[in-house]
């Protein structure tokens, strides 16, 4: 079985996440984070940085890996490994690219109706500050199996933000 390694980045600002609406390709007309397939001589972080810059115009200043999601399509001899990163430190302005149109969303308003079905399982967990590891199987575009594990340790970016909020509430 062939393994296709890829990265996806969730950009966070305050209580919002930046998602991109895919204009073409495999994810056409679906919202997602920014990312793509690993290119030769590229590591996962390089892939994440390159794709985020190309797809929404932002230069990320730090990345934290918060998960790995594996996706299998029934009848296809390929496993897609999606390494999920989060960033709340970036520079530049959000721009529309030839591939994506970007928009900020709060967790309560994630556009799950226009996302791959697995996102409704792992994306809220990451937004809560958890790390995730998941395995999902699709029959065409229908999710037919899912298994998700969340780590009890918070991801550093959201844990730090939540700790600073708790300090100000006292």
Residue 49 belongs to domain with CATH number:
3.90.79.10
CA distances from residue 115 to 9, 28, 31, 112, 161 in whole angstroms, order as listed: 15, 10, 5, 5, 27
Would you say residue 29 lies in a domain?
yes
Beta strand spans in 23-118 (E) = 31-32, 34-37, 59-60, 64-73, 78-87, 90-91, 100-106
pLDDT at 167 over 60: no
Would you say residue 168 lies in a domain?
no
Would you say residue 156 lies in a domain?
no
Would you say residue 158 lies in a domain?
no
Q: Output the six-digit token pair for 14.
A: 């305050």
Bridge partners, residue 60, by sequence: 90
The per-residue pLDDT for 166 is 44
Pick the closest to residue 21 from 97, 112, 101 (CA basis).
Answer: 101
CB contact set of 167 (below 8 Å; sequence gap of 6+): none
C-alpha span between 102 and 108 (Å, rounded): 17
Would you say residue 169 lies in a domain?
no
What's the pLDDT tens digit per position in 107-123? 999 999 999 999 999 99
Residue pair 96/11 in contact (Cβ under 8 Å)? The answer is: no
Q: What is the mean pLDDT of the chain?
A: 90
The per-residue pLDDT for 170 is 38
Q: Output the six-digit token pair for 57.
A: 């115009």
The per-residue pLDDT for 108 is 96
Tell me, yes or no, if the pTM score tops 0.75: yes
Higher pLDDT, 31 or 159: 31
What's the pLDDT tens digit per position in 55-111? 999 999 999 999 999 999 999 999 999 999 999 999 999 999 999 999 999 999 999
DSSP 118: T
Would you say residue 164 lies in a domain?
no
Would you say residue 35 lies in a domain?
yes
Type and span of the H or E element at 45: helix 44-56
- Using CA atoms of 109, 114, 118, 122 in order, give the dihedral in degrees to the nearest 10: -20
Domains: count for the chain:
1
Q: What are phi and psi of 147, to 5 degrees?
A: -145, 120
Per the structure, the complete domain to which residue 23 belongs is given by 2-149
What's the pLDDT tens digit per position in 120-145? 999 999 999 999 999 999 999 999 99
């Amino acid at each position: 079985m062939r393994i296709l390694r890829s990265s996806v980045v969730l950009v966070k600002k305050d209580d919002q996440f930046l998602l991109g609406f895919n204009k073409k390709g495999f994810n056409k007309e679906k919202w997602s984070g920014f990312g793509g397939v690993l290119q030769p001589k590229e590591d996962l972080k390089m892939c994440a940085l390159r794709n985020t810059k190309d797809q929404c115009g932002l230069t990320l200043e730090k990345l934290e890996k918060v998960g790995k999601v594996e996706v299998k399509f029934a009848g296809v001899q390929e496993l897609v490994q999606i390494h999920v990163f989060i960033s709340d430190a970036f520079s530049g302005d959000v721009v529309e690219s030839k591939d994506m149109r970007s928009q900020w969303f709060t967790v309560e308003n994630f556009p799950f109706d226009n996302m791959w079905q697995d996102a409704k399982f792992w994306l809220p967990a990451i937004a809560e500050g958890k790390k995730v590891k998941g395995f999902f199987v699709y029959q065409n575009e229908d999710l037919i199996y899912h298994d998700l594990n969340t780590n009890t340790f918070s991801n550093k970016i959201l844990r730090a933000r939540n700790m600073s909020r708790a300090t100000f509430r006292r």
